[in-house]
Amino acid sequence: MVAGNWKMNTTVAEGVALAAAVLERCSAETAVDVVVLPPFVHLQPVHEVLAGSRVRLGAQDVFWEDAGAYTGEVSAAMLADLCDLVLVGHSERRHLLGETDVETGRKLAAAVRHGLVAIVAVGETESEHDAGDTLAVVDRQLDAVLAAQSTALTPDGWVIAYEPVWAIGTGRTATPEQAQEVCAHIRVHVERRLGAAPRVLYGGSVSAANAAELFACPDIDGGLVGGASLKPDVFATIVAAAGTR
Ligand code: PGA
């Protein structure tokens, strides 16, 4: 899977054009689940662009309640007709907007309740990395998310994205060895808890130059791509790198 997280970028018209460009360049890539994650207001028109294609659509966030007095929020019930997937627990939501592990878990539960595949992002900050706490941090984040689930998670029902915070938008990618170590640890940790793990992606400054090396790692099943997903040619190169894995 290669998922493009557009973050808070593009106008609706630019987003529609970007989706069309991704569709043109990536729809022949049958070995890869290609996903775009545009801003909420783009979802309906991008849904129309992608209709009937292999490129899948997801939202960047979701609220855990289905409806009610939650000004500004968007529920999984609202997204279910438009999207296949939703990203939860991205580090920008955790660190800029104060989202907690427990809230991320509730968002995953809401997504699963409405048949959306949730991409759950986990990852350590630079100081946690430097202190050698990476594995403990991702375990804590995953355990909190799993504790919030009332129904069983199937491996196809969710995806984990390991994104070291110090690598996001910085141009400083984890080495393939570092990324492989953490993704392998995540897989074993979740298998111990649930019996089976979902796909595990790496994210954080994935580029056309480093994608093939990262995706060649045995426990990295694809990428969550931020900045590079806004450039359709670069994104297509990253998707192609996943296709030759
Ligand atoms: P980046 O972002 O590829 O720009 O580092 C990744 C992400 O935040 O998902």
Catalytic residue numbers, as ranges: 90, 163
Q: What is d(CA 233, CA 103) in angstroms, rounded to the nearest whole number?
A: 35
pLDDT at 245: 78
Q: What is d(CA 15, CA 156) in angstroms, rounded to the nearest whole number?
A: 28
**Three-state secondary structure of 218-240:** CCCCCEEECHHHHCHHHHHHHHH
Numbers of helices and strands, H then E, in the chain: 10, 8
Confirm if 54 and 34 have CB atoms less than 8 A apart. yes
Which one, of 9, 72, 2, lies nearest residue 227 by Cα? 9
Instruction: Please state the rounded mean pLDDT for residues 155-170.
Output: 95
pLDDT at 38: 98
Instruction: Please state the rounded mean pLDDT for residues 162-168.
Output: 95
Closest residue by CA, ligand 1 atom 3: 226
From the alpha carbon of 161, which atom of ligand 1 is closest?
9
Which one, of 119, 75, 139, lies nearest residue 222 by Cα? 119
**Is the pLDDT reported for residue 150 higher than 90?**
no
Q: How confident is the model at residue 154 (pLDDT cuts 50, 70, 90)?
A: very high
Closest residue by CA, ligand 1 atom 2: 226
Residues with Cβ within 8 Å of residue 156, at least 6 apart in sequence: 117, 198
**Is the pLDDT reported for residue 68 higher than 90?**
yes
> Looking at the chain, how many residues does it have?
245
Question: Which of 159, 207, 224, 235 has most ligand 1 atoms within 8 Å of its beta carbon, as the pocket-test mutant?
Answer: 224
96-121 pLDDT, tens digit each: 999 999 999 999 999 999 999 999 99
Higher pLDDT, 174 or 208: 208
Closest residue by CA, ligand 1 atom 9: 226
From the alpha carbon of 206, which atom of ligand 1 is closest?
3
pLDDT at 151: 85
98: left (phi over 0), alpha (psi -120 to 50) or beta: left
Which one, of 180, 186, 192, lies nearest residue 159 by Cα? 186
Residue 206 CB–ligand 1 contact under 6 Å: yes
Residue 168 CB–ligand 1 contact under 6 Å: yes
Q: What is d(CA 204, CA 166) in angstroms, rounded to the nearest whole number?
A: 8
Instruction: Please state the rounded mean pLDDT for residues 37-47.
Output: 98
Task: Write down the pTM of the prediction.
Answer: 0.97
pLDDT at 43: 98
Confirm if 226 and 7 have CB atoms less than 8 A apart. yes
Phi, psi for residue 225 in degrees, rounded to 5: -115, 125
Closest residue by CA, ligand 1 atom 7: 226
User: Taking all residues of the chain, what is their mean pLDDT, rounded to a whole number?
Assistant: 96
Confirm if 177 and 214 have CB atoms less than 8 A apart. no
**Homologous superfamily, domain 2-230:** Aldolase class I (3.20.20.70)
**Is the pLDDT reported for residue 171 higher than 90?**
no
Show me where the domains of the chain are located. Answer: 2-230
Task: Give per-residue burial for 149-167: e unless 16+ CB within 10 Å, then b.
Answer: beeebeeebbbbbbbbbbb
Instruction: Please state the rounded mean pLDDT for residues 229-245.
Output: 96
Q: What is d(CA 73, CA 99) in angstroms, rounded to the nearest whole number?
A: 14
DSSP string for residues in 182-224: HHHHHHHHHHHHHSS--EEEEESS--TTTHHHHHTSTT---EE
187-234 pLDDT, tens digit each: 999 999 999 999 999 999 999 999 999 999 999 999 999 999 999 999
| Ligand 1 centroid – CA 25 distance (Å) | 21
From the alpha carbon of 92, which atom of ligand 1 is closest?
8
